[in-house]
């Protein structure tokens, strides 16, 4: 069973639906114990880093996600969910992330309109090409995924950057280390490429 | 690098997809859920659903339809028609929309776009502008194109950007449904006036028209007639544009 963590942000149903369309059983849950008992966990999300980090702490859901990762079971973050895996974000300087990945989150520094919205090409890096979960994907070495964000990961360890996007600047948009993986974009809105990525996460045995 | 977008549009009235010419002479183009699923399967980059009847007493029916469409697609989904308040927009987003499109209500209530941007973020706010050339003027039309305003289209879209619109859906009423190509001078002027994406709408009749719109600065092309009736498919459109060097999804 895949637990999709419901911590009061929008846009959760589409993730569950995208997993179900691939034949996977996913449950939306607000219960930390259910998260702890899951085979794998998905943390989606659209919203504010500070608010989300407080909610994860107060509900115990953040701790539960950390325990699942510590137990060696796969954990995936999407958009704000991925950002919450890092130590902190420029969006909410005092707020603490889950610390599952080394690095931080910062705002786009570009003269292009922010938020960055649209289908952006994602190029796999060397570590991305070697990543077991991504092996059967990215047949051309790149895919387009739907992005909606003002902030992105930064100062990520080189071997944890699996895919990069470009919008006035290069940014890590697919990140992972050990059992933890995350996408800055929305696979649940990225049609075939996104469904394939979620399917790969659901089958991944790190 | 952002891909240019090809966006089928479902104009919905009475629970059916319809399409007219110059906003009139509507003809039936099928079931919205079936059409949405088909366009998703063919690789549409987004889908726009406009409730063109937008009568307040049918809000519930429309929202049910929106929810059914949202459940059948895995691409960004914009809903417009009859959204007059933050509460209306919230209901559409809860029903599964990713963005809302506002048109007449944004003209009547100048605080609506800023309120929507504050509540949901600029990425959620699509400002739709219907334009008609009247005596050399680019007039903004409202109320389904039935009512002329004194607003100049280019000034108005600049104002919409400043107010927090995330993108502009620019429809030429003169070109709508004619299949004679987009209003390219309008599109050039609009694209030069704002830095947010401009989506071209009204007039697409063949695949070269889509390329012309990109050339004129459009980030995306909305099309209904060409895909509903004229036998062009999305894979053909993408192949055509890719061969000519436009960044579209494979």
**What SS3 state is found at A124?**
strand
User: Which of B3, B71, B123 is the closest to A17 by Cβ?
Assistant: B71
**Would you say residue B34 lies in a domain?**
yes
Per-residue pLDDT of chain B (250 residues; tens, 9 = 90+): 799 999 999 999 988 999 888 888 888 888 999 999 999 999 999 999 999 887 666 788 899 999 999 999 999 999 999 999 999 999 999 899 999 999 999 999 999 999 999 988 898 999 999 999 999 999 999 999 999 999 999 999 999 999 999 999 999 999 998 999 999 999 999 999 999 999 999 999 999 999 999 999 999 999 888 888 767 889 999 999 999 999 999 8
**Would you say residue B164 lies in a domain?**
yes
Q: Do B3 and A120 touch (CB under 8 A)?
A: yes
Q: Is the pLDDT of residue A10 over 70?
A: no
Catalytic option among A91, A143, A177, A188:
A188
Contact B11, B49 (CB under 8 A): no
**Would you say residue B167 lies in a domain?**
yes
Conformation bin of residue A166: beta by default, left when phi > 0, alpha when psi is -120 to 50: beta
For chain B, how many structural domains are there in total?
1
- The parent domain of residue A80 ranges over 2-203
Burial B122-153 (b: 16+ CB within 10 A, else e): bbbbbbbbbbbbeeeebbbbbebbeeebebeb
Burial A11-29 (b: 16+ CB within 10 A, else e): bbbbbbbbbeeeebebeeb
In this prediction, residue A11 carries a pLDDT of 66
Q: Is the pLDDT of residue A52 over 70?
A: yes
Cβ neighbours of A194 in B, within 8 Å = 74
In this prediction, residue B111 carries a pLDDT of 98
CATH number for position B174: 3.20.20.70
What's the mean pLDDT in A1-24? 88
Q: What beta strand segments (E) does B5-110 contain?
A: 5-13, 16-21, 24-28, 47-51, 77-80, 99-102
Structure tokens at A22: 């691939």
**Would you say residue B204 lies in a domain?**
yes
Chain B residues in contact with chain A using a Cβ-Cβ cutoff of 8 Å: 1-3, 5, 40, 43, 45, 70-71, 74-76, 93, 96, 98, 121-123, 166-167, 195-197, 219, 247, 249-250
Task: Please give the share of chain A, as a percent, with pLDDT higher than 90.
Answer: 87
Cβ neighbours of B250 in A, within 8 Å = 140, 144
Rounded to 5 degrees, what angle do the CA atoms B38, A78, B7 make?
30
In this prediction, residue A77 carries a pLDDT of 98
**Would you say residue B250 lies in a domain?**
no
**Would you say residue B76 lies in a domain?**
yes
What's the mean pLDDT in A83-88? 97
For chain A, how many structural domains are there in total?
1
Q: Is B176 a catalytic residue?
A: no
Contact B175, B134 (CB under 8 A): no
CATH number for position A36: 3.40.50.880
Contact A78, A173 (CB under 8 A): no
In this prediction, residue B167 carries a pLDDT of 96
**Would you say residue B249 lies in a domain?**
no
Contact A161, A56 (CB under 8 A): no
Q: Do B75 and A146 touch (CB under 8 A)?
A: yes
Residues A138-184: tens digit of each pLDDT: 888 899 999 999 999 999 999 999 999 999 999 999 999 999 999 99
User: Which of B71, B166, B195 is the closest to A117 by Cβ?
Assistant: B166
Q: Do B1 and A121 touch (CB under 8 A)?
A: yes
Q: Are strands B125-134 and B137-142 parallel, antiparallel or unpaired?
A: antiparallel
Q: Do B96 and A14 touch (CB under 8 A)?
A: yes
Element (H, E) at A190: none
Question: To which residue do tokens 């008992």 refer?
Answer: A37
Catalytic option among B11, B45, B88, B176:
B11
How close A204 comes to chain B (CA, Å)? 22
Residues A182-205: tens digit of each pLDDT: 999 999 999 999 999 999 999 999
Cβ neighbours of A116 in B, within 8 Å = 2
- The parent domain of residue B220 ranges over 5-243
In this prediction, residue A141 carries a pLDDT of 84
Rounded to 10 deg, the angle between the B207-215 and B184-193 helix axes is 30
């Amino acid at each position: 069973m895949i637990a999709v963590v419901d911590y009061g942000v929008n846009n959760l149903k589409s993730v569950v639906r995208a997993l179900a369309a691939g034949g996977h059983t996913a449950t939306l849950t607000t219960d930390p114990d259910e998260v702890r008992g899951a085979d794998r966990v998905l943390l989606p999300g659209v919203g504010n880093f500070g608010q989300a980090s407080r909610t994860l702490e107060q509900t115990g859901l953040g701790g539960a996600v950390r325990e699942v990762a510590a137990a060696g079971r796969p954990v995936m973050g999407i958009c704000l969910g991925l950002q919450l895996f890092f130590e902190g974000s420029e969006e909410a300087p005092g707020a603490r992330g889950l610390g599952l990945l080394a690095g931080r989150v910062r705002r786009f520094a570009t003269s292009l309109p922010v938020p960055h919205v649209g289908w952006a090409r994602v190029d796999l890096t060397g570590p991305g090409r070697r990543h077991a979960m991504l092996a059967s994907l990215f047949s051309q070495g790149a895919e387009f995924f739907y992005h909606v964000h003002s902030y992105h990961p930064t100062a990520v360890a080189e071997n944890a950057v699996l895919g990069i996007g470009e919008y006035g600047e290069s940014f890590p948009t697919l990140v992972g280390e050990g059992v933890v993986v995350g996408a800055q974009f929305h696979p649940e809105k990225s049609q075939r490429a996104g469904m394939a990525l979620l399917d790969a996460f659901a089958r991944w045995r790190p | 690098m952002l891909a240019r977008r090809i966006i089928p549009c479902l104009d919905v009235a009475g629970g059916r997809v319809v399409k007219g010419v110059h906003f009139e002479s509507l003809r039936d183009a099928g079931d919205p859920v079936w059409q949405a699923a088909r366009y998703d399967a063919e690789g549409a980059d987004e889908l726009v659903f406009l409730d063109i009847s937008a009568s307040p007493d049918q809000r519930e029916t429309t929202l049910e339809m929106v929810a059914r469409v949202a459940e059948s697609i895995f691409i960004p989904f914009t809903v417009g028609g009859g959204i007059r308040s933050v509460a209306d927009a919230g209901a559409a987003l809860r029903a599964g929309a990713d963005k809302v499109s506002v048109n007449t209500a944004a003209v009547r209530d100048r605080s609506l776009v800023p309120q929507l941007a504050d509540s949901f973020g600029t990425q959620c706010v699509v400002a739709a502008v219907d334009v008609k050339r009247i005596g050399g003027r680019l007039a903004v039309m409202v109320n389904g194109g039935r009512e002329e305003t004194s607003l100049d289209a280019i000034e108005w879209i600049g104002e919409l950007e400043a107010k927090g619109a995330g993108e502009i859906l620019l429809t030429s009423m003169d070109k709508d449904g004619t299949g004679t190509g987009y209003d390219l001078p309008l599109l050039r002027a609009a694209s030069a006036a704002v830095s947010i994406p401009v989506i071209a709408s009204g007039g697409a009749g063949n695949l070269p028209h889509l390329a012309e719109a990109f050339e004129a600065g459009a980030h995306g092309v909305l099309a209904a007639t060409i895909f509903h009736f004229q036998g062009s498919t999305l894979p053909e459109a993408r192949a055509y544009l890719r061969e000519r060097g436009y960044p579209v999804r494979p």
